[in-house]
C-alpha cells in the first residue's frame, strides 16, 4: 500500500544534519599499532548521515537542500562536496570546527573502522538562526530528513521538535540518529525510522538476529505516525516493517570496497519515495540497489546513478 500523503508539484527533500562531517577515507593493508603504515589511496567524502544522504538524493536526480551547522575549512570542503554532487548546502555558521572523520579501510582484512571527534560548538543565537532556517525550508519541503547526533550547545530533542513541526504541516519525516537524539526523536514518531543494529539496540535493548523475530521487535515501534521501520544489518541486509507487511531485504552481491554511508543511501531512497508518494516496495527496492551501489565505491555514500539503475532489477524483497 502506498503512503497516503499528497505531494506538492515540485518535491524538495530537506536534510537536517546538526553535526555534519567530512570523511577522509584511508585505504591501507594490515593495520597494526607501532609501525609505519602506507596509505595506498585517500579520498574525501561527505560524512554525517543527512549530508551523506543529500549527496545520494542529488546523484539520483532529485532536488535536495542540505541544512546543518558548519565551521572552518572542513565546513567549506563539505559545502563544496555537496555542491559537486548537485545538492544545495545552506549551512548556519557555528563555533569550533566541522568534524573530520577518519575512515580506515583495511583492504587486506576486509575490515573498516571510523575515528570521529565532536568539535562544533553552537551558541544560543546560532541555534535560533538554524531553527529559523529549518522553519523557512519547511514551507517548500516534501520530505524532512533528520540525521545524526547533536553538537555541543544543541538540545537532544531538536529532531523531535522538527518532527512535530513537520507533522503539523503534513510533511513526512525520516529519522536516522543515535543516542539521546534517536530516543527523543523516535518518541516523536517520525514517518520512517531507520536505525542500524547498534542504534536499534539503544532503542529496544536486545536485537534478535532471526529476521522474523527482528520484524516483531520493529513492529513495536510502529504507530502514532510511524508508518515504516527499517533496521539495517550491514552485510546481512535489512528488515523493514509496516502495519500491513514485513520484508527481509537481502543485500546484492557486489564487490565491497567501502560500506560507509550505505545506510544513509538507503534512507535517501526512502526519502525520495516519501517525497514522491511511492508505494513502500518501490522505495525499498531503490534503497537496496542504492546501498549496493555505494558499497562498491571508495567514497563515503558515493554512488553512481547508472550503477543503481543497473542493479535495480536484481533486487528481491522477501516477505516475512
Ligand atoms: N559488507 C556489505 N556487503 C554487502 N552489502 C552491504 C555491506 N554492508 C552494508 N551493505 C548494504 O548496505 C545496507 C546498509 O548497511 P548498514 O547496516 O551498514 O547501514 P549503516 O550502519 O546505517 O551505515 P552508515 O551509517 O555508514 O550509512 C545493508 O542493508 C546492505 O544492503
Ligand atoms: Mg547509518
Cell numbers given for 114: 571510523
Ligand 1 atom with minimal separation from the 261 CA: 27
Strands 192-193 and 228-232: parallel
Residues in the chain, pLDDT under 70: 1-9
Note the residue count of the chain: 320
**Cα separation, 259 vs 278, whole angstroms:** 26
User: What residues have CB less than 8 Å from 20, skipping those under 6 apart?
Assistant: 46, 47, 48, 50, 51, 68, 69, 70, 78, 91, 98, 99, 148
Residue 109's φ and ψ, nearest 5 degrees, are -95, -10
Span from the CA of 196 to the centroid of ligand 2 (angstroms): 6
234 lines ligand 1 (CB under 6 A): yes
Specify the pLDDT at position 8.
46
Span from the CA of 21 to the centroid of ligand 2 (angstroms): 14
3-state secondary structure at position 271: helix
Ion ligand 2, residues whose Cβ is below 5 A away: 196, 263
Specify the pLDDT at position 47.
87
Most ligand 1 atoms within 8 A of CB, residue of 54, 116, 251 to mutate: 251
Q: Where are the beta strands (DSSP E) in 2-155?
A: 13-17, 21-28, 41-47, 64-70, 88-93, 95-96, 99-106, 111-115, 120-121, 143-147
Closest Cα to residue 3, out of 228, 317, 265, 241? Answer: 228
Which ligand is in closest contact with the Cα of 233?
A: 1
Specify the pLDDT at position 5.
55
CATH code for the part of the protein at 13-319: 3.40.1190.20
Distances, alpha carbon 308 to alpha carbons 61, 96, 303, in Å: 12, 37, 8
Q: What sign does the dihedral 73-78-84-86 (CA atoms) show? A: negative
Q: Are 90 and 134 spatial neighbours (Cβ–Cβ below 8 Å)?
A: no
Which ligand is in closest contact with the Cα of 261?
A: 1
Amino acid at each position: 500500500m502506498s503512503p497516503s500523503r499528497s505531494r506538492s508539484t515540485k518535491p524538495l527533500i530537506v536534510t537536517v544534519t546538526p553535526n555534519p562531517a567530512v570523511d577522509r577515507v584511508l585505504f591501507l593493508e594490515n593495520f597494526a599499532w607501532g609501525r609505519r603504515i602506507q596509505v595506498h589511496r585517500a579520498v574525501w567524502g561527505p560524512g554525517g548521515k543527512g549530508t551523506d544522504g543529500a549527496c545520494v538524493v542529488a546523484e539520483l536526480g532529485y532536488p535536495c537542500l542540505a541544512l546543518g551547522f558548519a565551521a572552518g575549512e572542513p565546513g567549506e570542503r563539505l559545502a563544496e562536496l555537496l555542491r559537486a554532487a548537485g545538492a544545495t548546502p545552506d549551512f548556519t555558521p557555528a563555533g569550533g570546527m566541522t568534524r573530520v572523520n577518519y575512515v580506515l579501510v583495511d583492504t587486506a582484512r576486509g575490515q573498516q573502522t571510523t575515528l570521529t571527534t565532536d568539535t562544533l560548538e553552537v551558541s544560543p543565537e546560532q541555534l535560533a538562526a538554524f531553527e529559523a532556517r529549518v522553519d523557512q525550508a519547511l514551507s517548500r519541503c516534501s520530505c524532512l530528513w533528520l540525521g545524526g547526533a547533536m553538537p555541543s550547545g544543541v538540545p537532544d530533542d531538536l529532531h523531535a521538535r522538527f518532527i512535530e513541526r513537520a507533522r503539523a504541516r503534513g510533511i513526512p519525516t525520516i529519522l536516522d540518529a543515535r543516542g539521546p537524539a534517536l530516543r527523543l526523536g523516535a518518541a516523536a514518531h517520525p514517518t520512517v525510522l531507520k536505525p542500524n543494529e547498534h542504534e536499534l539496540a539503544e532503542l529496544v535493548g536486545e536485537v534478535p538476529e532471526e529476521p522474523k523475530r527482528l520484524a516483531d521487535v520493529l513492529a513495536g515501534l510502529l504507530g502514532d505516525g510511524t508508518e515504516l521501520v527499517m533496521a539495517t544489518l550491514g552485510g546481512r541486509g535489512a528488515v523493514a516493517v509496516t502495519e500491513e507487511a514485513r520484508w527481509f531485504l537481502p543485500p546484492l552481491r557486489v564487490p565491497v570496497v567501502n560500506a560507509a554511508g550505505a545506510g544513509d543511501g538507503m534512507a535517501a531512497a526512502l526519502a525520495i519515495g516519501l517525497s514522491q508518494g511511492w508505494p513502500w516496495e518501490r522505495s525499498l527496492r531503490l534503497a537496496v540497489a542504492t546501498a549496493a551501489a555505494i558499497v562498491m565505491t571508495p567514497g563515503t555514500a558515493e554512488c553512481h546513478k547508472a550503477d543503481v539503475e543497473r542493479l535495480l532489477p536484481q533486487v528481491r524483497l522477501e516477505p516475512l
